Amino acid sequence: MSLPKLLTGAVLAVACLIPAFAQPLQGAADPHPEDDTFVLLREAARGADIAKIESYAARLGQYPIPSYVDYYRLKPRLASAPADEVRAFLLRYPGTAIADRLRNDWLLELGRVRDWANFDQQYPLFVLNDDTQVRCYALMARIARGEKVGDEARALLVSPPAYGDACNALVGALAQAGQFDANDLLAQLRLAGETGSTGPARRAAALLGASDTRAAQAVDLPALAMARGTGSTRAEHEIYLVAIGRMARSSQKLALLGLRKNLSSLAPQEQAIGWAVLAHAASLKLDPDAWEYWQKSTGAPLTSEQVQWKTRIALRRGDWKAVRAAINEMPPALRSQPAWTYWMARAMQADPGSPPEAALALYQRIADQGSFYGQLALEEMGQLISIPAPGPALTAEEIAPMASNPGLRRALKLFSLRLRPEGTREWNWELRKFSERELIAAAEFARRNDILDRMVHTSERTRTQFDYTQRFPSPHSDILSPTALQLGLDKAWVYGLIRQESRFIMDARSAAGASGLMQVMPATAQFVARKIGLDFVKDKISDLHTNLVLGSNYLNMVLANAGGSQPLATAAYNAGPGRMRTWRATLAEPMEGAVFTESIPYLETRVYVKNVMANAVNYAALFDNKPQSLKARLGKITPRSAQGGELP
């Protein structure tokens, strides 16, 4: 099949209605003679090459965004720069995104050297306060003042892979101050094992008086750690259980043998913890024995991930009583998340003794969110998903302030230089100040300047006024519509997937090497091109036409391989057809689509499928101008039947 043939066909009407006055605004991102020098300055700053930094900065005296020139000059010298120089920068650019960024950097340095006097002065001025390590240093500063911070620390210290030096040091400071006891340190050791975090495991073991070497072996070489036996102390027992959990990820059989062999040397709660780590690993494989292990874990202090997987396995069994009990085991903050609010309501509905108004109250709590579970809740309340009525049309007078906003203009300049992280930071910083009407105007400003990811993000922040043509744009319909039509693909689903994959960023590229609007991998592109008879050059993978044609054809292939199930095909597009087939093979009977989606083992894929399917419903409502059903789109996931033409 050739590219011209793929691009022929009827072009469907574009659902995105752009106001007649929506023309690109000039000036903010106009080229500057020293743009290349500015980009070189950024790279020199990232490499801390002081000589190059000063050389490039000397040529940028009249550059349009001087705050960034000054930032790149100062950032690499924060460890040695006088405090007055840093304060001078902050005073020179007050209330800006880059000043808050530098304050973030400085707080990390102040925490590293334990300069609590300057840290305590600057921390209340840190507006975003979105850096976990800075928050860990902030708790350390309070410990130094004699304050009790144990409860706050327990809520913060839940993800060892993100700890870094600051949070690891906080654990030690808490133990030294007597604010973390042995149970807290054992909990940290379990979390480190669960997340495969060798450094935090070593530190927790050392603080418990156990061998940090053995703790590292339990995480990295579990077979060796298991061979050493359980040891005699509580900490050594925990290290052994970490090894059981790590081994279960690769060999559940060996982990089960190791646990059963040493059960008699473990206390009852330790035995329960051992069954919990086995159950967690079995759950991630959707193993039918997982529920048996969860039942044996009664009395174990479950981590957040463990209690969620206990709930998911109960869902897959259709055991609503167990679902309700497991959700009740969750911490309040976790229990109140939309997913568990929805499933708790479903469990209440399934209980004849539960008053209907209790479930209804939970559905109402999330039904206005427009997300996957908000849409499902709406349907449980007897309503389908429709597009909210838009507010009054924007006027030129409402758009004009966006074009003159300094932060948004800086963002446009940075986007034009393909410095997307910096541009996104500038853009999002300004949004904090806007009313709902101003957010819609800013989103329209982003559309005029073809920054569709910021348009979507900005418009999504509104709660009382809506413009779903901003939230769910459908660009490049002249290419995608005939392609989808010829392949028989649901255009709403394709756009829902693109929105999740790239947010319509033309040059999007993932860490794994996927490219373009549909994030096509090079090997996949070659495979699809060969199948459809398209001449393909690797360098063309990000070309708009080529990317959409290859991505749409691949999506059609995975849909056929998934028996026409959109949720399964969406999972396959993200995680690979092989994994999708493995997950489907665990089914003994048809399963509700929402339950299957909630129990997808990979977090990234689970979130991806939920978002794509919710997006598709909104696009369908927008395109068809009539209410839609997410439940109908999810359907039932059936056990795998014999199918030919398996995809790699």
Burial class (CB in 10 A: 0-12, 13-18, 19+), 150: middle
Q: Give the three-state DSSP class for 299.
A: coil
What tens digit of pLDDT does each residue of 230-253 get?
A: 999 999 999 999 999 999 999 999
Q: What is the DSSP letter of 647?
A: -
Main-chain dihedrals φ then ψ at residue 599, nearest 5 degrees: -105, 20
Q: Name the token pair of 619.
A: 């696009």
What tens digit of pLDDT does each residue of 20-63 get?
A: 333 333 456 789 999 999 999 999 999 999 999 999 999 999 99
| Predicted confidence band of residue 648 (pLDDT cuts 50, 70, 90) | low
Residue 130 pLDDT exceeds 70: yes
Contacts of 513 (CB under 8 A, 6+ apart): 521, 522
What tens digit of pLDDT does each residue of 399-453 get?
A: 999 999 999 999 999 999 999 999 999 999 999 999 999 999 999 999 999 999 9
Q: Percent of the chain, pLDDT > 70?
A: 94
Instruction: Give me the mean pLDDT over the 182-191 stretch.
Output: 98
As a whole number of angstroms, the distance between CA 253 and CA 247 comes to 9
Instruction: Give me the mean pLDDT over the 386-407 stretch.
Output: 95
Q: Mean pLDDT in the chain?
A: 93
Closest CA to 584 of 597, 574, 573: 597
What's the chain's length in residues? 648
Residue 10 pLDDT exceeds 60: no
